[in-house]
């Protein structure tokens, strides 16, 4: 596995490449969810590039940038064992200068849900993803469905800016008890981890209601909110795949999303119905 930290060196390395490239952007602290993205990229492409970059511009003041789990050596090993061809490991100074051009998330879809609790967060995400895609120039890029709003905005950016990369959405991986895999699960103590199970359980409850032909969004979200008590809920929403609120769940066209705080940790989860 080749490890490169300079964006220009990576561009140069890939310059004459004629193979299909699958790209998996990450912020490190890799877990089985990331490995499933890498495996999908390997199955669909001839060359796989993974980036590990803790992007400062997507963290708001007072968020967990400084305490975000960092596991550089373990991450390198995971990439190597997963058959990654190139690991891109830049420093912030390689990615950003002082007077920066940046992208703005759309005014509506970028400022609902997670965009409400983290205003500006998606500006940072879109800017860094655009930079990374321009450096790697992949055939396909892989993102988890767990960060559904991020995925939706990246798809929108690719479409609206006429970019040629194909965005591949990959299903959320879960622990055997239902907890969605996330690097931030590392913040949870034993009692909080138990509390966190309320989030996936609320989604399970929603999907059970839908299977009993209860499609009314307010009825479903009210039951979910009850089941999440006493967690601090940021949102419980039922949206269509264009990320617009819907009054009734339509199978094959809906996403149910939750963000709630367990201790100081914000956790996201969702199901696609």
Q: Does residue 147 bind ligand PAF (CB under 6 A)?
A: yes
Can you tell me which of 55, 127, 172, 182 binds ligand PAF, judged by CB under 6 A? Answer: 55
The residues, any chain, with a CB within 8 Å of residue 205's CB and separated by 6 or more, are 223, 224, 227
Q: Give 147's DSSP letter.
A: S
Q: Does residue 168 bind ligand PAF (CB under 6 A)?
A: no
> Tokens 């039922």, residue?
238
> Tokens 């305490």, residue?
67
Q: Does residue 125 bind ligand PAF (CB under 6 A)?
A: yes
Looking at beta carbons only, is 86 or 129 nearer to ligand PAF? 129
Q: Does residue 270 bind ligand PAF (CB under 6 A)?
A: no
Q: Does residue 25 bind ligand PAF (CB under 6 A)?
A: yes
Q: Does residue 151 bind ligand PAF (CB under 6 A)?
A: no
Question: 59 is written with which tokens?
Answer: 């963290």
Looking at beta carbons only, is 87 or 228 nearer to ligand PAF? 87
- Cα distance between residue 271 and residue 146, in whole Å: 8
Question: 31 is written with which tokens?
Answer: 């877990």
At 241, is the secondary structure helix, strand, or coil?
coil
> Tokens 């690991």, residue?
87
Question: 115 is written with which tokens?
Answer: 């965009």
Can you tell me which of 50, 128, 133, 236 binds ligand PAF, judged by CB under 6 A? Answer: 128
Q: Does residue 206 bind ligand PAF (CB under 6 A)?
A: no
Catalytic residue among 31, 34, 121, 204: 34
Looking at beta carbons only, is 125 or 262 nearer to ligand PAF? 125
Question: 123 is written with which tokens?
Answer: 């500006």
Query: Does 34 qualify as catalytic in the annotation?
Result: yes
Can you tell me which of 4, 22, 26, 270 binds ligand PAF, judged by CB under 6 A? Answer: 26
- Cα distance between residue 195 and residue 1, in whole Å: 40
Strands 254-262 and 265-272: what pairing? antiparallel
Cβ at position 26, least distance to ligand PAF in Å? 5
Where do contacts with ligand PAF occur on this chain (CB under 6 A)?
Answer: 25-27, 55, 58, 125, 128-129, 147, 150
Catalytic residue numbers?
Answer: 34
């Amino acid at each position: 596995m080749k490890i490169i930290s300079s964006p220009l060196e990576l561009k140069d390395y890939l310059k004459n490449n004629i193979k299909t490239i699958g790209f998996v952007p990450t912020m490190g602290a890799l877990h089985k969810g990331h490995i499933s993205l890498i495996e999908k990229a390997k199955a669909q492409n001839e060359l796989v590039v993974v980036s590990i970059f803790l992007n400062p511009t997507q963290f708001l003041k007072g968020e967990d940038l400084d305490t975000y789990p960092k596991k550089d050596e373990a991450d390198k090993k995971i990439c190597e064992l997963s058959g990654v061809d190139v690991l891109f490991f830049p420093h912030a100074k390689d990615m950003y200068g002082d007077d920066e051009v940046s992208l703005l998330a759309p005014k509506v879809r970028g400022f609902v849900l997670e965009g409400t609790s983290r205003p500006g967060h998606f500006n940072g995400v879109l800017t860094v993803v655009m930079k990374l895609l321009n450096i790697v120039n992949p055939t396909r890029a892989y993102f988890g469905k767990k960060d559904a709003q991020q995925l939706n905005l990246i798809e929108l950016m690719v479409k609206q800016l006429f970019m040629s990369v194909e965005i591949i959405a990959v299903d959320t991986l879960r622990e055997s008890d239902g907890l969605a895999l996330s690097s931030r699960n590392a913040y949870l103590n034993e009692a909080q981890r138990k509390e966190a199970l309320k989030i996936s359980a609320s989604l399970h409850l929603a999907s059970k209601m839908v299977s009993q032909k209860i499609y009314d969004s307010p009825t479903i979200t009210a039951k979910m909110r009850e089941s999440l008590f006493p967690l601090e809920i940021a949102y419980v929403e039922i949206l269509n795949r264009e990320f617009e609120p819907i009054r009734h769940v339509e199978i094959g066209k809906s996403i149910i999303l939750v963000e709630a705080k367990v201790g100081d940790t914000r956790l996201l989860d969702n199901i696609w119905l």
